[in-house]
Amino acid sequence: MQRFLQTALILPVLLQLLASVIHTPSLYPYPMSHSAVQLGNGNKSETAALDKNSTSEAAPRRKRYRKSSVRRVPWSVLQSRYSGSFVIRGSGGRKLVALTFDDVPDPRYTPMVLDILAKHHTRATFFVLGSRAAKHPGIVKRMVREGHLVGNHSYSHALFAQASLAAYRKQITLTDQLLAKLTGYRPRFIRPPYGEILPRQVEWSREQGYIVVNWDVDSEDWKSIGSDKIMANIRKTLQPGSIILQHAGGGDSQDLSGTVNAIPKLLRYLRAKGYQTVTVDELLGQRGQRG
Ligand code: NI
């Protein structure tokens, strides 16, 4: 009888435990490349934060995805399969690095980042969301006026790994048309949200003359961390040719003051180590415009 009672008490607990394990995000099928695994954490909060400001198109359909047969391909495979059209860093022949800022424009942080870059005579690459460019066109124009390069970060921060090719093309093309009007050119570089992109999407991009640009240095600044932690994260994998991921825009719940404070420190550090900061087109020796 006692044994029966024990079982009766433990069984529901065990079932609950099992259920929580099944719904754990760690079971979400990321490719086993280290950058993508790190992104796994980013996916959830960054999506949640950004979704507030974007269209319903961006809402991830995780349940459906888990059951679908979509297979994510590690960055290393995409790099070799689409050499030159999917890149995460430059050749490293010279001590050059590219600063990249995603999820812009954001009136809270982007003007501050632009101010600091101007003060230090540094040019960077901004990956722009079409939906935000439509709301704050003046900030995008300012980027171009001040010599920065602009790239395409989708329209509504969509998770491309869950998007059909048609939906992907729509995200890219809508943003492309908007940016062409604001910048006077058709941006060549695409930064997929969360760094996630499917082979057929890279293939279409290559055919259209785009280059997909991820990163080899993740500042993890979207976690609302302080500038010292950001600097430590950057130093971990920095090398000649590196492309550094930072954010100059975010969701309501994200505090990017760490990013803002880190930029002067980062520029000082890079100068002391003999690095020169360039835009992504200069780093890769490629045009930043299509056509
Ligand atoms: Ni992003």
pLDDT, position 26: 29
* Distance from Cα 153 to the centre of ligand 1, integer Å: 7
Give the three-class secondary structure for 67.
helix
Residues with catalytic roles = 102, 247
pLDDT, position 2: 55
Contact status, residue 30 vs residue 39, Cβ threshold 8 Å = yes
- In this predicted structure, the answer to whether residue 206 has a pLDDT above a threshold of 80 is yes
* Distance from Cα 194 to the centre of ligand 1, integer Å: 6
Run of H or E including 115: helix 110-119
pLDDT, position 265: 98
Q: Going by CATH, does the domain composed of 31-284 fall within 3.20.20.370?
A: yes
Contact status, residue 61 vs residue 187, Cβ threshold 8 Å = no
Query: Residues 123-154: pLDDT tens digits?
Result: 999 999 999 999 999 999 999 999 999 999 99
pLDDT, position 91: 95
Least confident of 4-8, 156-160, 251-255: 4-8
* Distance from Cα 276 to the centre of ligand 1, integer Å: 25
Give the three-class secondary structure for 78.
helix
Return the bridge partners of 187, or none: 289
pLDDT band at 8 (very low <50, low <70, confident <90, very high): low
* Distance from Cα 11 to the centre of ligand 1, integer Å: 43
User: Looking at residue 276, what DSSP letter applies?
Assistant: E
Return the structure tokens found at 116: 């600091």
* Distance from Cα 39 to the centre of ligand 1, integer Å: 11
* Distance from Cα 146 to the centre of ligand 1, integer Å: 22
Within 10 angstroms of residue 104's Cβ, the number of other Cβ atoms is 26
| 0.85 exceeded by pTM | no
Query: Residues 54-105: pLDDT tens digits?
Result: 333 333 334 444 445 567 899 999 999 999 999 999 999 999 999 999 999 9
- Residue 92 gets the label, from left (phi > 0), alpha (psi -120 to 50) or beta, of left
Burial 204-215 (b: 16+ CB within 10 A, else e): ebeebebbbbbb
Within 10 angstroms of residue 78's Cβ, the number of other Cβ atoms is 22
